[in-house]
Structure 1
Amino acid sequence: MSNGLSADRDFNCDAAVIGAGFSGTLTAVHLVRLSGGTISVALIEKKQRFARGVAYATEDLDHLLNVPAGRMGAYAKDPEHFLRWCHEHPDTCRAAGVQNVLAGSFVPRKLYGDYLEEVLENTRRRWPGLQLLQEEVADLRLRPNGQFIVEFVGGRTLNAAKVVLALGNFPPGDPWLRDRRFHNSRRYLTDPWAQSTLEQLSEQGDILILGSGLTGLDLLLSLAKRPATGVIHVISRRGLFPQPHALSTPLPAFIDENALPETAREALHQVRKASKQAAEAGSNWRAVVDALRPSTQKIWQRWDWVERRKFLRHLRAYWESHRHRASSEALAVKKNLETCGRLACYRGRVLSITENDTGLEVEFAEFRRCEPKRLQVSYVVNCTGPECNYHKLKDPLVMQLFLRGLITPDPLFLGIEVGVGGIIYDVHGRRVPNLYTLGSPQKGRLLETTAVPELRLQAEGLAKRLWREIRRSEPAGVEAGFGNPALAYEI
């Protein structure tokens, strides 16, 4: 992959996008297309493969999208773009184990990564100005003129007028137990998607998965294909797995945006009422949850921090299991594992994890049981979901941003302090000039900000903002990009 950096000089660009998952890739794609290739955009990724991030880097064909193919287009104005791409690339689909992709099909995430790679590569071939830099960013320094010096591991630098932090999701946070020595055990695994994790889990013995969300379900799908080595145990605080997708008749928005619910309790009441009415009309609760989507961020922003905390404490797990659903095929695999005795699921809270001569002893309190239970397992895999408290992250760049005061956590520790359009506030509450973000870091402000339908809107909106600002700072006459017929959404 091109890195475009010279050891003896700095590299200059109009915009640097740090992180080449879905969010960063689409921001760079939109920006270079809007400019007609007249500006320089650096898309920076520390891993070898661009346009995949964590979600679409998996090689396991049993890891499926949790949204139907017909709604996964990379562009907000063309949600069926991915579906058409599948029809135009039958060989690629067959290589991913699928054929005859329909609008309602749940296809492998690897295939979606192939699609995003082609979107990026075709953009790079068609519009000059896009540089792909395979580098790890070590530091970000704000210059007196409001621009940035991006420093890479190894010491080379890049001067950027604008910087976008497209950081994506981070690994799960470690369980906060009194004795944390198990964190250093080779039997405690924190990357469920790593090939090394699956290789270790092929050893004989029982396995404990912490967390029953989409990540835990992914791991179950991978383990189901392997010869049985023992029982798979799953412990989660609420005992909730993702709900299955099913056909439902679409409903119009039922929330009055001129009278948004003031509390989480009121919102719950409205959702329950709408779900009952949907069932009576021959639909189901899924249509209600989908109809709520356009209003979710507005409702969240309507609530104060106290009300948001109530939602997180009491309702978040139930909301996420209904909002972020899984394919019926994936849940059928989980059910089959339970039926044949390979899977045991518990609602409870882990009290301790202690390493011994034969593995790890796990003590946990099961819901509504008086006495703690114990499990002896060979491995514990952390699938509790991405760590959102940025103060706990061990990422070198994030730690440097904190040291420089360029970022600060939001009051709920769901992400960082941001404003409208992805602007970032520093430790003193001031806007950091020319620094932006999108996606997961905005959870505190937006709540719903990790799925493709939200991210593609954010990427397009941020690219438009960056292009407007770059144009204002350029000499008169630089107007490329607007009215250009080549800017149609195609790959």
Structure 2
Amino acid sequence: MLRITLPLPKDVTPAPTTSRVAIIGGGFTGASLARLLAVNGQYGPDDIVVFESRAGLGGGLAYGTRNPSLRLNVAAHRMRAVPGDPQAFVHWLSASGRLDLDPDAVGDGGIYARRADFAAFMAEQIQPFLDRGSVRHVRERAERICRRHGRWQIEGDRGASVQSDIVVIATGHPPPTPPDLLSDSLGGDARLISDPLPSGALQAIGPDDKVLVVGAGLTALDALGVLRAKGHCAEVTLLSRTGQLPQPQASGDFAPHGDFLIGVPNTALSLLERVRFALEEVTEAGLPWQSVFDALRHQGQAIWQALPLVEQRRVLRHLRRRFEAHRFRMSPQIAELVERERAAGRLRSRAGRIVAVRPGHAEIVVDIATKPHGIVVRHAARWIIAATGPDHGNVIGSQSCLADMEGSGLLRKDPHGLGIACDEDSRAVARDGYPVEDLFIAGPLARGAFGELTGVPEIAAQAERIVQQVLAMRFATTRTITIRSL
């Protein structure tokens, strides 16, 4: 047999190997991932695609509000959103002139900016890459994600179709769901507001209408702030199982106190004992107790991952509410509002649970079994606001694309019901217990694996780790992602 080898032209090179990414969700987590991938410079046009139904990237549900009464509950210098430049947001506030336009931002020695300002900052960070085409924003909600011919197929709710090599789920917290008793008794009644955060959600509440807020966390206090900012002056009652409100931030700047990584506690009880000891230390030293909880936050992922599954469950069952009241603290502006409203008798908090709901023509009557003795008291209000937070137990069912993937065995809930199961590399864990190499879970949906993963610095650090893993992956495919509108 005659064999002839023809030389290749000198200008012919092998087809490029690329790792193309579709990011589902364009809030802070998704925008951070897209930006970090684009900064690397290894991607061509349309190689990074972000599915996000909102007009802009970077804000999401948490920050994408225009209401000036909604502020960050963390000082701006602690919003370390850009790896390698921890003071980027603080510098931007001054350089952009936003701080000059918001004199009320300064409180207790820190800057507590409006959430809309942080969203604008993030939008400005990602915009150059959108302009260059290295990041493409598909303004649709991802409806279906499936495997097809060895790649991922993502279909949007308005006809877009994307094929990609890697998918990152970064949809953030699931939407809230009112307690069953409220939904069953007030289904279809406009006086039950199931989510107070969207713009205009509280607009119909009159200035003299009494309000019952079910929940007493930061979302409930956001609702209070929005109501008072629009002229509401009637009584507001906050109802929760413990009756405990978030604690205030400490004034001034201080370092975290406590090293929980030396002999990492491996039981819920030993963790509680270590925290109590650290609190005694800071009290004797005249330091704020908040310094201990800041140390817990910084070391939280290592602490959580050192706990066996059964001890993680004990932490969630016995310590979670107490921890969250001290971890997720009020901004000075909200703390001042709460103190003023309580002093005026317009704000009350009650510990208990709802046992009956009777809608009337003028008001809704609610029976509350109060703590600690279970005595039932009757409470009447014109409006009920559900502020119980995201429905993490229904995170997969709340999004059709995630439900499809669960049905195909590609992902599953985490054992604690906090989000989606993933491994320590943020890879989704499939039904068979093995990680899916090219499917990542980013942001709060990965809390079951990491514990502390709701703050901006922690999410930014996880995004950086995911990007490093993505950059290390190589796929021998062409560089063009197919995007078509039907």
Shift of 1:340: 1.4
| SS of residue in 1 equivalent to 2:60 | coil
Q: CA deviation at 1:100?
A: 8.0
Contact 2:107 2:332 (8 Å CA) reproduced: no
Q: Does 1:60 align with 2:67?
A: yes
* TM-score, scaled to structure 1: 0.88
For 1:410-421, list aligned pairs within 5 A.
Answer: 410-421=414-425
Equivalent position of 2:29 in the other structure: 23
Change (3 A) 1:392 1:407: closer
Aligned-partner Cα distance in 1 for 2:372–2:106 = 48
SS of equivalent to 1:428: coil
CA distance in 1, matches of 2:319, 2:372: 19
Structure 1 residue 354: Cα displacement: 2.9
Question: How far does the alpha carbon of each residue in 1:217-270 deviate from its partner, in whole angstroms, 9 at most, with x for none?
Answer: 11111112233453111101111211111136314542244x111211111111
- 2:313 maps to 309
Give secondary structure in 2 for the equivalent of 1:386: coil
Q: Does 1:236 align with 2:236?
A: no
Q: Alignment partner for residue 35 of structure 1, among 30, 33, 41?
A: 41
Unaligned runs of 5+ in 1: 1-11, 479-491
Q: Which of 386, 389, 394 is the matching residue for 1:385?
A: 389
Residue matched to 1:431: 435
Note the C-alpha offset of 1:149: 0.5
Aligned to 1:185: 189
String of CA shifts for 1:329-377, please: whole Å, max 9, x gaps.
2111012112212211101112222323223221111112442111121
Matches within 5 A, 1:230-309: 230-246=234-250, 247=252, 249-251=254-256, 253-257=258-262, 259-309=263-313
User: Which one of the candidate residues 114, 133, 144 is aligned to 2:138?
Assistant: 133
1:215 aligns to 2:219 (yes or no): yes
Cα pair distance change 1:381/1:161, threshold 3 Å: same
Aligned to 1:14: 20
Cα distance, 1:97 vs. partner? Answer: 5.4
Q: Secondary structure at the match of 2:369?
A: strand
Question: Relative to structure 1, is the Cα distance of residues 274 and 229 closer, same or farther in structure 2, using a 3 angstrom cutoff?
Answer: closer
Structure possessing the higher radius of gyration over alpha carbons: 2
Give, in whole Å, the separation in 1 of the partners of 2:105 and 2:294: 27
Unaligned runs of 5+ in 2: 1-17, 480-486
Separation in 1, partners of 2:107, 2:353:
41
Q: Cα–Cα, structure 1 residues 387 and 467, in superposed 2: closer, same or farther, change >3 Å?
A: same
User: Structure 1's 97 and 249: CA in aligned 2 closer, same or farther, altered over 3 A?
Assistant: closer
Q: Does 1:106 align with 2:77?
A: no
Cα distance in 2 for partners of 1:449, 1:373 equals 38
Q: CA deviation at 1:154?
A: 3.4
- Report the AA paired with residue 141 of structure 1: C
* Offset at residue 473 of structure 1 (A): 4.2
Higher mean C-alpha deviation, range 192-201 or range 109-118: 192-201
Closer/same/farther in 2, CA of residues 256 and 163 from structure 1, 3 Å limit: closer
Superposition TM-score, scaled by structure 2 size: 0.89
CA contact (8 A) 1:45 1:136 kept: yes
Residue deviations 1:374-422, cap 9 Å, x none?
1121211111111111367433323323333322111111111101221
Residues 84-132 of structure 1, C-alpha deviations (whole Å, 9 max, x = no match)? 1112111x3344556789982111111111101100113333x542111
Shift of 1:144: 3.8
Q: 1:374 aligns with which of 351, 356, 378?
A: 378
Q: Secondary structure at the match of 1:344?
A: strand
- Select the residue among 224, 231, 239 that pairs with 1:227: 231
Q: Could you tell me how far 1:13 is from its partner in structure 2?
A: 8.6
Q: Equivalent residue for 1:78?
A: 85
Match of 2:451 in 1: 447
1:159 is the counterpart of 2:163? yes
Contact 2:207 2:231 in 1 (8 A): no
Q: How far 1:176 moved relative to its partner?
A: 3.3
Q: 1:199 is paired with a residue of what secondary structure?
A: coil
Offset at 1:158? Answer: 0.7
Tell me the percent identity.
27
Hey, what does 2:463 align to over in structure 1?
Answer: 459
Shift of residue 468 of structure 1? 1.5
The separation in 2 between residues aligned to 1:119 and 1:391, in whole angstroms, is 29
